[in-house]
Amino acid sequence: MTPENLKTDFDEIFKGVIAPFFKGLGFKRKTQHFARQTNDITQCFNVQKSQWNSYHDSLSFTFNLGFYNEAIRTLSWGQEILTDFPKTTDCFIQDRLGTYSHKRDNWYELNKRIDRNKVAEQIKNDLEKYLKPLFDDYQSLDDLKVFCERNTGFILSPYGQIIFLMMTGQTEKGKQFMKEQYKIALTPQTTTHTTNYPDGRSDVKISKPYINQHYVDSIERLAKHYDIEL
């Protein structure tokens, strides 16, 4: 199968299955990114092709999803960051659809040994059976309280976790978590760098203990914003 055939196969699946699915749900689209505003969050989705695709005999891709809130992003960064079309990389919660459809990271593959129609059927099934219910169930920050209780560790940064807790009325949890993160931020950390040589030798270097001042400053900034004494 030629690279042109693989690209055509992918384009046909995208145009025939993926794009219509999101159009039917009212999502806006930019290239291979989709977004839909629901209450105080934006639901995001994108198709990510593998950076290792040769296009000569194989083309792999996966699906990313996320939940975005402008206030959480702005407060996390400490400055106003506006966007009219958030992407999954902007989301404070990010995941792969494979987590739900396959219970693991999953990549779809096109090659000369795989029937394109079967791949298209699998994608349609995964979107309708796993993604649609997920986006139906979680359409606001309050809905995401349940999501986070069921899926611990999905909020990407401690700043996002603090802000999310405070914005959803979980004030005591937010205060406790902020103070825990402040203690962690003030604890000196070390980094390890390993260099492997062709002859089998390894050189391990451990940095001197240091405090991440940006981490400290960010927690202090949020504490001031919420009038919390650390």
Over residues 168-208, the pLDDT tens digits come to 999 999 999 999 999 999 999 998 989 888 888 888 899 89
Determine phi and psi for 78, rounding to 5 degrees. 80, 15
Q: What is the pLDDT of residue 1?
A: 45
Helix residue ranges, H only, 57-198: 70-77, 98-101, 116-126, 132-137, 141-150, 158-167, 171-186
**Res 3 pLDDT > 60:** no
Give yes or no for residue 6 having a pLDDT over 90. no
Average pLDDT over residues 51-57: 67
Mark residue 55 as left, alpha or beta (left: phi above 0; alpha: psi -120 to 50; beta: remaining): left
Neighbouring C-alpha atoms within 13 Å toward the C-beta of 19: 11
Cα–Cα distance measured from residue 57 to residue 9, given in angstroms and rounded to the nearest whole number: 12
In Å, how far are 35, 200, 206, 210 from 194, measured between CA atoms? Answer: 41, 12, 9, 19
pLDDT at 61 over 50: yes
Considering the entire predicted model, what is its pTM?
0.89
Residues in the chain: 230
Q: Which candidate, 34, 5, 10, places its Cα nearest to that of 22?
A: 34
Residues 86, 68: Cα–Cα separation, whole Å: 7
